């Protein structure tokens, strides 16, 4: 089997002692060994959470025909792994053997250490005389390294039944990405036909029913990992991921979810534990203390990426003026303290935040509620405006005010939120009641869904219809901090970070239900260092 991965230089790092540019590993077109991709490794390979001296590697083994995902069957086995400086494994850097079995659904996760920083490596897994597909990964630069560019693929909301994962295919074909940031809803919990492509099931899920048990979640994860475009992107670059709600159930909060009915679906904590166990088995992500997933990764002096968990600690969604209640939280107190301290104390040029749900306000009506004065309280309107979607930060005004006020008080600049969940494309300037007149405190780039329904799909209309265009115009006219939005497209984003700017380009698919769908650049917006004001770009990144 031949895998061709043509990659440009990924990181250009100034040497710590010589001051000369050190290439982090320009990737040449490579051919995997002819014996790669044996049937035992049918769910692909992946890497994640790159550190300067290490990387997390993942695969799933099917040692026998009965050892299917979620079956609880099959033997305990030993799996070998190798990391090399070349795609033909003539220069092996690290290798070892690890065990797996039905207790972990035959998944394999290896924490490889002792690697060189800012270096490209190839890796593979072996069992029974066969090797897996060869994956390619890159370690992070040292924290004090001068990095002149970082490029990220950014994705969210991939619904199996709603289409094909062409967005992943187009990202995998690029030659300029350092890593992929996935902002949640990697998979969906619904049963077949419950959330599809505007009423059409493009490809049915397994299991066919809603995922509730450990076996159910394992089977659903396994299904997603059979997608060839998803496998290609996992094998091409390391991923940094977080979860949103559908990895468990729709509109999840700390004590339950909208799409969980205890009377017919059992105890929520049991379901949550099953979903989390399957997630950590099947995803290339590190788990912190008590299964915490919020974490921070550093990419030299250029950027620090804080990945948030906005489901595990949040209060239940509310409406009306309850969204102003300071006792309610979307982050939880400990994560908020960690986030504020990390942003204010960071020595990196750019502070990126992997943010599962939209931060920017979305006001309804011509005026934000705080300009109505006492009339606001009389009418029962929340201080940041009536919340269209209280599942977002709009439903947790106190937390948003606290974070934005903290950025202002500490003089923390160059903060950019990378956001998913809402399925549309947005370029936002982040303001609150206290900052609307003094200018934005941060910028926010929101990616569209990979496949999940958006406005035209819900309405049964073609893309770029007049009603969607009118909706986007109305949003911008009543929300001046929303500099751009598009409500119909599916696709992905590409973020470029340099010492001078942080920029996102949006790419939309021509047709999500076509497995050969093309993609096209639709917009680019950037923010310059020292400013949170967005600027429109008039052509794609070179």
- DSSP notation for 291-330: G---EEEEETTTEEEEEP--SSSPPPP--GGGGG-TT--S
Tens-place pLDDT, residues 328-364: 999 999 999 999 999 999 999 999 999 999 999 987 6
pLDDT tens-place string over residues 199-218: 999 999 999 999 999 999 99
Q: Determine the pLDDT at residue 32.
A: 32
> Nearest-CA neighbor of 414 among 440, 448, 446, 434?
440
How far apart CA 417 and CA 429 sit, in angstroms, is: 10
Specify the pLDDT at position 140. Answer: 98
* Sign for the pseudo-dihedral over CA of 345, 346, 352, 355: negative
3-state secondary structure of 102: helix
1-140, what's its fold?
Immunoglobulin-like (2.60.40)
- The confidence score (pLDDT) of residue 189 equals 98
pTM, full prediction: 0.91
For 468-479, give one letter per residue: b (16+ CB within 10 A) or e.
beebbeebeebb
pLDDT number for residue 16: 29
Rounded CA-CA distance 236/91 in Å is: 20
pLDDT at 143 over 90: yes
Q: What is the pLDDT of residue 206?
A: 98
Q: For residues 135 and 352, what is the distance between their CA atoms, to the nearest angstrom?
A: 26
Instruction: State yes or no: pLDDT of 87 exceeds 70.
Output: yes
12 has pLDDT over 50? no
Rounded average pLDDT over 68-74: 98
Contact between residue 83 and residue 50 where contact means Cβ atoms under 8 Å apart = no
Residue 343: enclosing H or E segment and its boundaries? helix 333-345
Report the Cα 488 to chain-centroid distance in Å: 20
Query: What does the DSSP assignment read for 379-395?
Result: HT--TT---S-TTSGGG
Closest CA to 199 of 448, 489, 449, 459: 459
Domain boundaries, the chain: 1-140, 141-537
Q: How far is CA 368 from CA 354, 364, 408, 427, 481, in A?
A: 27, 8, 20, 19, 11
Q: Check residues 377 and 470 and name the one with the higher pLDDT.
A: 470
The confidence band for 10, taking pLDDT boundaries of 50, 70 and 90, is: very low
Q: Reply yes or no on whether the pLDDT at 501 is more than 60.
A: yes
The lowest-confidence range among 64-73, 287-296, 374-383 is 374-383
User: Which pLDDT score is estimated for 435?
Assistant: 61
pLDDT at 24: 28
Confidence of residue 439 (pLDDT cuts 50, 70, 90): confident
Other beta carbons within 10 Å of 149: 15
Residue range 141-537 forms a domain whose CATH class is alpha beta
Query: Rounded mean pLDDT of 160-178?
Result: 98
pLDDT of res. 438: 78
Query: 35 pLDDT exceeds 60?
Result: no
Does 22 have pLDDT greater than 50? no
The more confident residue out of 184 and 33 is 184
pLDDT of residue 44: 98
pLDDT at res. 449: 98
Predicted local confidence at residue 9, as pLDDT: 29
């Amino acid at each position: 089997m031949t895998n061709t991965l043509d990659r440009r230089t990924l990181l250009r790092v100034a040497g710590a002692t010589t001051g000369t540019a050190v290439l982090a590993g320009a990737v040449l077109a490579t051919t995997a060994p002819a014996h790669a991709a044996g049937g035992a490794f049918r769910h692909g390979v992946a890497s994640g959470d790159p550190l300067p001296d290490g990387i997390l590697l993942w695969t799933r083994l099917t040692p026998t025909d009965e050892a299917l995902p979620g079956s609880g069957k099959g033997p305990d086995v030993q799996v070998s792994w190798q990391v090399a400086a070349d795609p033909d494994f003539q220069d092996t850097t690290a290798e070892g053997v690890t065990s797996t079995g039905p207790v972990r659904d035959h998944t394999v996760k290896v924490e490889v250490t002792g690697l060189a920083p800012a270096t490209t490596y190839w890796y593979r897994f072996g069992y029974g005389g066969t090797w897996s597909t060869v994956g390619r990964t890159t370690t992070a630069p040292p924290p004090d390294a001068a990095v002149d560019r970082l490029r990220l693929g950014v994705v969210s909301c991939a619904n199996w039944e709603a289409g094909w994962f062409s967005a992943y295919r187009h990202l995998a074909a690029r030659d300029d990405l350092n890593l992929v940031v996935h902002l949640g809803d990697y998979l969906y919990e619904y049963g077949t036909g419950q959330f599809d492509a505007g009423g059409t099931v493009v490809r049915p899920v397994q299991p066919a029913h809603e995922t509730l048990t450990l076996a159910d979640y394992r089977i659903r994860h396994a299904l997603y990992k059979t997608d060839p475009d998803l496998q290609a992107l996992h094998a091409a670059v390391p991923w940094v991921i977080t979860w949103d709600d559908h990895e468990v159930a729709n509109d999840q909060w700390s004590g339950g979810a909208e799409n969980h009915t205890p009377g017919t679906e059992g105890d929520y904590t049991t379901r949550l534990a099953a979903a989390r166990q399957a997630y950590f088995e099947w995803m290339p992500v590190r788990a912190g203390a008590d299964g915490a997933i919020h974490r921070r990764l550093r990419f030299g002096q250029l950027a620090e990426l804080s990945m948030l968990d906005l489901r595990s600690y949040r209060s239940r969604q509310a409406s009306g003026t309850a969204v102003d209640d300071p006792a309610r939280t979307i982050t939880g107190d400990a994560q908020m303290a960690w986030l504020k301290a990390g942003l204010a104390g960071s020595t990196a040029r750019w502070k990126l935040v992997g943010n599962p749900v939209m931060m920017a306000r979305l006001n309804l009506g011509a005026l934000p509620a705080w300009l109505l004065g006492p009339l606001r309280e009389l009418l029962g309107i929340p201080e940041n405006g009536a919340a269209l979607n209280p599942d977002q930060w709009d439903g947790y005004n106190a937390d948003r005010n606290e974070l934005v006020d903290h950025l202002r008080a500490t003089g923390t600049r160059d903060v950019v939120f990378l956001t998913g969940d809402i399925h549309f494309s947005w370029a936002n300037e982040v303001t609150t009641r206290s900052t609307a007149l003094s200018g934005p405190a941060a910028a926010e780039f929101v990616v569209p869904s990979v496949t999940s329904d958006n406005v035209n799909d819900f309405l049964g209309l073609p893309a770029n219809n007049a009603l969607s265009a009118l909706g986007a115009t109305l949003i911008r006219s009543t929300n001046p901090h929303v500099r751009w939005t598009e409500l119909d497209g599916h696709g992905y984003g590409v973020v470029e970070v340099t010492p001078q700017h942080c920029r996102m380009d949006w790419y939309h698919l021509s047709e999500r239900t076509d497995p050969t769908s093309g993609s096209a650049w639709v917009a680019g917006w950037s923010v310059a260092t020292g400013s949170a004001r967005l600027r429109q770009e008039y052509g794609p990144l070179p």
